[in-house]
Amino acid sequence: MNNTLHYTNQQLHMESVSLDSIAEQVSTPFYCYSRAVIEQQISACKNAFKVLDATLHYAVKANSNLAVLRIMAGAGLGADVVSAGEMERALMAGIAAEKIIFSGVGKRKAEMLAALEAGIAQFNLESISELKVLMVLCEQQKKRAGVSVRINPDVDGKTHRHITTGVKGSKFGIPMEQLSQALGLIAQSDHLTLRGLAVHIGSQIVTTEPYRAVCERLRDWIIDLRGQGHAIQHLDLGGGFGIDYGDGQVLSFENVAQVMRQALQGVKDLKIAIEPGRSLVGDAGVLVSEVIYRKEVEPVPFLILDAGMNDLMRPALYQASHSLVPLISMERGHETVSVVGPICESSDSFHKEISLPRIEEGERIALLQAGAYGAVMASGYNSRDIIPEVLVDSGEYALVRRRINHRDLLELEQVS
């Protein structure tokens, strides 16, 4: 459990706020985040990466709630965005354009134009085609853009196959064979300023080895490229630092920063950037849900929640496991149950045959580690509401996104 979660009078609290009392107000299911945990993670990350003198660019995709982005802005972080929508949110939250990096394999012209207009720091280019489009847009707009080439380093992040991004054959980054063509085009352009290289090898990486491997390769490539006259001044190492989903596997900021520093030793005058997402917000969030039914069947009963895969997609998509705790803690006997959602999909399952204290119908539970890739990936599948988000801050809670009622969505379909 994150360190602001605790039982007081047998009720689960985030700081001094009982999650049951929030549930009475906003009704389940809902996401609840702790500002204190986000701030702790930010400072742990900042401290660890001092050894690299790195700048931090929060990966907005992990949790793009404006309240969360404002915390990032307040702590002085920049942002890594993958759409004009994320950029707009980051700017609205007060993150300066000069601290924004635009990543992604499919940036549209209109999005690049918006980013040029805003004056962001850097485009991480992911294909030769995209590079050429940006070049033309800059010429037309008479603007200069800072660019880094995101390369595909062919390093396996050793994570779930759906979230590994740095291996050969992955759609991300420019393959090494095309790097000199990309750098040549940038060098010829009067509108693109080369900043350096970028990588991001995947997400929920729990060992330092892939980072060592990628940094060692980068060290050699940078020395080589500089020798050829390319002014590589920036290196963006991406994010991907894994958190503990209850199995004890986690990557510490210190360990990964030290490994990167060692592997990059000897490369002078290099400005390092990192793009952490999950590691800053994952542990700060819980998803609170009610057990609607107990279905007493063999071999084990089902607990049917009012939260489903449309609210938290990670278990269905990546067979991910989120720790589950009851909101009321009493001395109760344990039983083996399966915990599922109400959606008409067999993959709408949170836990298969786990041992839990007996939980009755109408009682509530919390799924932990839900601050990253939770609310942002929610949908209205099965014509359900998109659930609210709440932020606990200094012993108070505030609704930071209201429920999007399925009728709100229905209204959007009344177009002639």
Ligand X SMILES: Cc1ncc(COP(=O)(O)O)c(C=O)c1O
Ligand Y SMILES: N[C@@H](CCCC[NH3+])C(=O)O
Residues known to be catalytic: 344
266 labelled binding-site residue: no
- Out of 29, 157, 239, 315, point to the residue binding ligand X (CB under 6 A): 239
Strands 396-401, 389-393: pairing kind: antiparallel
Cβ–Cβ contacts within 10 Å for residue 248, how many?
A: 7
Which segment (90-98, 186-194, 210-218, 274-282) binds ligand X by CB under 6 A? 274-282
Which of ligand X, ligand Y, none is residue 196 near (CB under 5 to 8 Å by kind)?
Answer: none
293 labelled binding-site residue: no
> In this structure, what token pair is assigned to residue 150?
């995101």
> With respect to ligand X, which residue has the nearer C-beta, 211 or 241?
241
Residue 86 sits in the site that holds ligand X (CB under 6 A): no
- Least separation in angstroms between residue 365's CB and ligand X is 25
Which of ligand X, ligand Y, none is residue 314 near (CB under 5 to 8 Å by kind)?
Answer: ligand Y
Strands 285-295, 364-367: pairing kind: antiparallel
> With respect to ligand Y, which residue has the nearer C-beta, 30 or 172?
172
> In this structure, what token pair is assigned to residue 203?
């997400």
> In this structure, what token pair is assigned to residue 305?
């929640």
d(CA 389, CA 30): 6
276 labelled binding-site residue: yes
Phi, psi of 192 (to 5 degrees): -110, 135
Which segment (23-31, 114-122, 234-242, 340-348) binds ligand X by CB under 6 A? 234-242
Which segment (2-10, 269-277, 297-305, 361-369) binds ligand X by CB under 6 A? 269-277
- Least separation in angstroms between residue 415's CB and ligand Y is 31
Site string for ligand X, 4-43 (x = CB under 6 A): ----------------------------------------
Residues 48-77 interacting with ligand X (rule: CB under 6 A): 59, 62
DSSP state of 208: S
Site string for ligand X, 97-116 (x = CB under 6 A): ------x-------------
- Least separation in angstroms between residue 354's CB and ligand X is 26
> With respect to ligand Y, which residue has the nearer C-beta, 196 or 240?
240
C-alpha angle with apex 176: 172 to 178, nearest 5 degrees? Answer: 90
C-alpha angle with apex 32: 26 to 37, nearest 5 degrees? Answer: 155
- Comparing CA positions, the residue from 137, 372, 354, 362 lying closest to residue 278 is 372
> With respect to ligand Y, which residue has the nearer C-beta, 32 or 82?
82
For residue 202, list its beta bridge partners: 164
- Comparing CA positions, the residue from 326, 327, 197 lying closest to residue 273 is 197
User: Helix (H) and strand (E) counts for the chain?
Assistant: 12, 21
Token pair 């307040």 in the structure block, residue: 74
- Using the Cα atoms of residue 37, residue 38, residue 44 and residue 47 in order, give the sign of their dihedral: negative
User: Residues at the annotated binding site?
Assistant: 240, 275-278, 314, 318, 345, 373
User: Residues at the annotated binding site for substrate?
Assistant: 278, 314, 318, 345, 373
Q: Which residues bind ligand X (CB under 6 A)?
A: 59, 62, 80, 103, 200, 203, 238-241, 275-279
